[in-house]
Structure 1
Amino acid sequence: MSLSRTVLLTAALPLLLLCGRAAIAQSAPPPAWDQLTPAQREQLIGPVRERWNGASAEERSRMLEHARRWQSMTPAERAEARHGMHSWKQLPPEQREEARALYTKLRTLPDAEREALRERWKQMTPEQRRRWAAENPAPAHRGGPGR
């Protein structure tokens, strides 16, 4: 090995060790709530406080209900909910409107009619779905389906 390569490796070794430690620290599991510093807790809570303070009474009630429902879910149900939220965010706006309209209508129907509408929906073309959603609009919304 040449002298310049040896010098380079000797100089780079502390940097490599430091990078390795940083990678290990980043992969360590996050601490429990009680182990967080007050600044870390504030960093987590701050955005929720701002949203809460800017929300109407109706929105605050909805936020509390969502929190109650989330706490009652099993880990599998939470994973499914996260997947659904991710899928919802990926939908184009026009498909979100169609989904809101369908969801709103399905909530009002008896089981047999609900299943019949689902089957009809599966058979519809995109243009038929757009037309159906325009004829059966969902109420003004905020957030996910049916909101």
Structure 2
Amino acid sequence: MKLFVPLTLTLSLLLSSSAFAQTASPPPEWDKLTQQQRDALIAPVRDRWNREPEERARMLERAQRWQSMSPEQRRQARHGMKRFESMSPDQRKQARALYGRMRELTPEQRNVLREQWKTMTPAQREEWMRTHAPKDDRPPRPQP
């Protein structure tokens, strides 16, 4: 699982941090932005789109999924992304493995695995990782 920041999240982060950091009022609607402001917001996504053509379908699918999420689901997704970003490389590898395995399980089985994971010793977790390591453990995406 690659870390992905959907288009809308990227835009909202940019709006809140750089393009409008000097203003005290809330950022304007998209239609009220200048062309320069729009270009500044879209540039990181455009650069990634052009730099990684093999990821375009995945980027588009995730942006569409983000649009269909409720505000609460988006809040939870942002929280999860922040947690993932703060993890060590080893913790990220474990998270990828657990996430991949959880996708294959029923809700009841997920709860059982979650509880088992909490009680495992580091040695038991290492053994679990050896047998359930992510098949696609790609290196981190280069930062723009």
Shorter-chain TM range is 0.7 to 0.9
Structure 1's 109 and 75: CA in aligned 2 closer, same or farther, altered over 3 A? closer
Q: Which residue number in structure 2 is paired with residue 126 of structure 1?
A: 122
Larger Rg belongs to: 1
CA RMSD, 1 decimal:
1.9
Q: Which has the higher contact order (CA 8 A, sep 6+)?
A: 2
Structure 1's 54 and 81: CA in aligned 2 closer, same or farther, altered over 3 A? same
1:34-63 per-residue CA deviation (whole Å, 9 max, x = no partner) reads 111111111011111110111233x11111
Which residue among 79, 97, 100 is the counterpart of 1:101?
97
1:97-122 per-residue CA deviation (whole Å, 9 max, x = no partner) reads 11111111222234444333222112
Q: Which residue number in structure 2 is paired with residue 44 of structure 1?
A: 41
When the two structures are aligned, how many residues end up with a matched partner?
118
Amino acid at match of 2:76: E
Which residue among 70, 76, 83 is the counterpart of 1:80?
76
Matched, 1:55 2:33: no
CA–CA separation in structure 2 for the residues paired with 1:70 and 1:111? 23
Q: Which residue number in structure 2 is paired with residue 26 of structure 1?
A: 23
Q: Is the 8 A contact 1:101 1:137 kept in 2?
A: yes
Amino acid at match of 2:27: P
1:41-92 per-residue CA deviation (whole Å, 9 max, x = no partner) reads 11011111110111233x1111111111111111121111111100110111
Instruction: Name the SS for the 1:108 alignment partner.
Output: coil
CA–CA separation in structure 1 for the residues paired with 2:39 and 2:91? 37
Q: Percent identity?
A: 50
